[in-house]
Amino acid sequence: MPKGLLYLAVAILAEVVATSALKASEGFTRLGPSLIVATGYAIAFYFLSLVLKTVPVGVAYAIWSGVGVVLIALIGWLVLKQPLDLAGMIGIALIVAGVTVIQLFSRTGAH
């Protein structure tokens, strides 16, 4: 796996962990979840900065945010039991399709 993709995967996972802990931080009034949020975002942005050495910012951000949105929506639905209607599922499918097109067909993608 190319370093750019590995760094991007780490950035995405750290961002997803941090975002998932936001609700538990209760507006940053709980120390443990708040530390997870701060640490997760710090790791995410650090690794995203490494990705940007080899991948254009627009492509990297599109993949990072798109995959992050999909994962957070799935965590919300599966773990937090938040409803996800048909329109939400279609929107998520379109995000996945967009990221797939970038990865498979763009010469500027994170290869």
What is the model's pLDDT at position 56? 87
Which amino acid belongs to residue 16?
Answer: V
Do the beta carbons of residue 62 and residue 96 sit within 8 Å?
no
For 23-50, what is each residue's pLDDT tens digit? 899 999 999 999 999 999 999 999 999 9
Do the beta carbons of residue 96 and residue 70 sit within 8 Å?
yes
Judged against a pLDDT cut of 80, whether residue 88 lies above it is answered with yes
Say what the alpha-carbon torsion angle 87, 89, 91, 94 is, to the nearest 10 degrees: -140
Do the beta carbons of residue 76 and residue 17 sit within 8 Å?
no
Q: From CA 111, how far away is CA 97, in angstroms rounded?
A: 17
For the residues 65-86, what does the mean pLDDT come to?
A: 92
The confidence band for 9, taking pLDDT boundaries of 50, 70 and 90, is very high
pTM for the whole structure:
0.85
What is the model's pLDDT at position 109? 58
Look at the alpha carbons of 42, 47, 53, 59 in this order and tell me if their dihedral is positive or negative.
negative
